[in-house]
Each structure stands twice: as structure tokens, then as C-alpha cells.
């Protein structure tokens, strides 16, 4: 995990997690960058940060262990959650003559298990989740399966209801989103 900047975007963010001390008083349990912060080597400017994860029925008080360390899939099961902060590079990165799609796909599988397997060659994907998100910085296009596009800017929020979609950064600077994925049950 690096804490330096990548094209002006902080790689690491500060994560503050509350808990309880031995006297059961409220306390800061964790105050450090999320340990699962990855700056992609084969997708320059792409940064994935797994901030937190919960089981389908969170317990209080929670375990003192960092749940992100044991996450085997970025796609939560029904009732589980994943909190991600993702920085998307401009789409021009993918059109660079030196871009290696095979190396990028392999890296994505290693960094984002469970999620990367769902990506189609055009970047579209469907997750069995309801996602709550907010654009923190930059601008990004939400593209749906029939080409419908909506531009999102800082502080725009979205609710993604298990639809086939892709994220397109048509600008010349990174875009950062915070997203909570909530595992959903199939309606069929």
C-alpha cells in the first residue's frame, strides 16, 4: 500500500473506525488507511480501496479484527456489505498503444476477486447487489446496457439496482467514487 499521490489522487485514504475499549466505552478502534488499497500497475490511475465489510447480520460490538483482511469476494452475499472507494482513470488509458488488456484483466482478478470475474470485454457488468454511491471528485458517466448514459459530477449520488452497466471516464482527469454494495437476493 502506498500513501503517495498518483496523478494528484491520494492512493491511501484515512479510515477511522469506532469500537469499544475494555471498559465498553466508545473508542477509536482503527485509524489508518485501509490495508486493502491497491494502485493498479497495468491500469495507470486506477485505485481500489476496500474500506469495510460486514456479514449479513453485523454484531455489536463487532470483532476487533479488520474484516477487510478476510474478504474473499468484493461482491457481498445477501445482506452482506462492501464499502469501496474507487478512482477511475480517464478512458484514454485504455486506448493507449501500450495498454495490455490481458495484464490488466489478470491484475483486476487479483485485486478485486469476485467482482473482476463479472466484467465483460466492454467493461459492462451486473452484480447481485444494490449499490449506494457518491461521486467524490471528477466526473464519470454511468452507461447502461442499451447505451443510455448519465453524467455524474461531485456530490451526485446514485442507487444502482443490479442493472447491467459500465463506468466511463471521458474526462482528462481521474474520478473517485465511494460505493456501498449491499448483497441482494435474486428476485427470480
Q: Could you tell me the domains of the chain?
A: 34-183 (2.60.120.10)
Q: How many residues does the chain have?
A: 188
- Average the pLDDT over 149-159 and give the result: 98
Is the pLDDT at 4 greater than 90, yes or no? no
Give the model's confidence band at 186: pLDDT under 50 very low, under 70 low, under 90 confident, else very high. Answer: confident
Phi, psi of 133 (to 5 degrees): -140, 160
3-class SS at 118?
A: helix
Distance CA 91, CA 96 (A): 9
Distance of CA 153 to the CA centre of its chain: 17
Q: Using an 8 Å Cβ cutoff, are 127 and 181 in contact?
A: yes
- Average the pLDDT over 117-122 and give the result: 94
Distance CA 94, CA 37 (A): 21
Is the pLDDT at 91 greater than 70, yes or no? yes
Is the pLDDT at 183 greater than 70, yes or no? yes
Give the model's confidence band at 48: pLDDT under 50 very low, under 70 low, under 90 confident, else very high. Answer: very high
Is the pLDDT at 162 greater than 60, yes or no? yes
Distance CA 114, CA 104 (A): 16
Q: Give the list of residues 6+ apart from residue 170 with CB closer than 8 angstroms, or none.
A: 90, 91, 141
The owner of cell 452482506 is 80
Phi, psi of 32 (to 5 degrees): -170, 165
Percent of the chain with pLDDT over 90: 82
The owner of cell 482528462 is 172
Beta partners for residue 168, in sequence order: 141
Is the pLDDT at 76 greater than 80, yes or no? yes
What's the pTM value of the predicted model, to 2 decimals? 0.91
Tell me: cis bond preceding 184? Omega within 30 of 0 counts. Answer: no
Instruction: Measure CA of the first residue to CA of the last residue in the chain; give whole Å.
Output: 40
Amino acid at each position: 500500500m502506498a500513501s503517495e499521490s498518483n496523478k494528484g489522487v491520494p492512493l491511501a485514504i484515512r479510515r477511522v473506525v469506532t469500537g469499544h475499549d475494555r471498559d465498553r466505552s466508545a473508542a477509536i478502534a482503527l485509524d489508518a488507511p485501509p490495508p486493502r488499497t491497491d494502485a493498479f500497475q497495468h491500469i495507470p490511475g486506477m485505485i481500489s480501496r476496500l474500506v469495510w465489510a460486514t456479514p449479513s447480520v453485523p454484531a455489536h460490538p463487532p470483532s476487533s479484527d479488520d474484516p477487510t483482511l478476510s474478504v474473499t469476494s468484493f461482491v457481498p452475499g445477501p445482506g452482506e456489505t462492501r464499502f469501496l472507494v474507487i478512482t477511475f482513470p480517464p478512458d484514454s488509458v485504455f486506448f493507449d498503444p501500450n495498454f495490455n488488456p490481458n495484464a490488466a484483466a489478470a491484475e483486476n482478478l487479483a485485486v478485486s476477486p469476485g467482482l473482476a470475474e463479472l466484467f465483460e470485454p466492454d467493461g459492462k457488468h451486473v452484480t447481485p447487489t444494490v449499490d449506494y454511491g457518491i461521486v467524490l471528485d471528477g466526473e464519470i458517466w454511468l452507461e447502461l446496457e442499451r447505451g443510455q448514459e448519465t453524467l455524474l459530477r461531485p456530490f451526485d449520488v446514485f442507487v444502482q439496482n443490479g442493472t447491467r452497466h459500465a463506468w466511463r471516464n471521458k474526462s482528462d482527469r481521474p474520478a473517485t467514487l465511494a460505493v456501498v454494495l449491499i448483497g441482494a437476493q435474486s428476485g427470480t
